A and B are shown apart, each in its own frame.
Chain A
């Protein structure tokens, strides 16, 4: 099993450009999450999904949109990138139940110029 994979690994955008980050998991997990990680700030939740076709806002949702059209995929979109969105983005997934352990992908490093 590949676990959680993220595409792309690196990306550089200019202010105002748009892009989509792709997260895929092969563990048949119901829940999926998008985080951003900034120096001195820790991991902060952007959006999450508890099932196909459902999404919810996390702690820092502004400037991002998400979609969960298939159970195994969770997309994070930036419609008009800003320098403040320069960060490392992590996707995670989990299966609800006794453990709820979240398993993370390798991350995408995004720079907005």
Chain B
């Protein structure tokens, strides 16, 4: 059974204080690992897809990395507008469906 575990459940940072969110996964074969951002009362918004170990992708203050067992979402010098819940999901090889983790709620204080 595919499993995705995100940690921590919640993270509070001061503006400018860099940190990382973790996504550990178990899947028989990985087609892709996805990161989404979700603001309160809204639907998840796509951020990144990673396909193979060693791959990295960046967008503004966010950088996602992937190993064979986990992915990290690094947040550099965060701003209050980065406050959101960040979701990680895996797509097994041969399937079109995603298995989501429970998310990390990030709060960035000014």
A residues contacting B by CB (< 8 A) are: 4, 31, 33, 40-45, 48, 50, 58, 90, 94, 96, 99-107
Kindly identify which residue among A4, A100, A104, A107 contacts B31, using a CB–CB cutoff of 8 Å. A100
Q: Contact at B102–A58, with CB atoms within 8 Å?
A: no
The answer to whether A41 and B96 touch across the interface, beta carbons within 8 angstroms, is no
A74 CA / B32 CA spacing, docked (Å): 25
| A106 touching B43 in the complex, CB below 8 Å, given contacts A48-B96, A100-B31 | yes
Binding site for A on B (CB under 8 A): 31-32, 34, 36, 41-46, 49, 87, 89, 91, 96-98, 100-103
Q: Which residues in A have their C-beta under 8 angstroms from that of B96?
A: 31, 48, 50, 94, 96, 100
Interface of A is mostly: strand
A-B contacts, 15 listed (Cβ < 8 Å):
A42-B87, A43-B44, A45-B97, A45-B98, A48-B96, A48-B97, A58-B97, A90-B43, A99-B32, A100-B32, A100-B96, A103-B46, A104-B36, A107-B41, A107-B42
Taking A42-B101, A90-B43, A100-B91 as given, write out 13 further A-B residue pairs in contact, using a Cβ cutoff of 8 Å, ordered by the A residue number. A42-B100, A43-B44, A43-B100, A44-B100, A45-B97, A48-B96, A96-B96, A99-B49, A104-B44, A104-B45, A106-B42, A107-B42, A107-B43
| Contact for A101 among B49, B100, B101, B103, CB less than 8 A | B49
The 5 tightest CB contacts between A and B, nearest first, are: A104-B43, A42-B102, A43-B100, A104-B44, A42-B100
Query: Shortest CB–CB separation between residue A33 and chain B, in angstroms?
Result: 7
When distances are taken between beta carbons in the complex, the residues of chain B under 8 Å from A94 are 96
Bound state CA distance, A94 and B49, in angstroms?
13
| Closest B residue, CB atoms, query A50 | B96
Name the residue of chain B whose CB is nearest to the CB of A4. Answer: B43
Most buried by B among A33, A44, A90, A100: A100
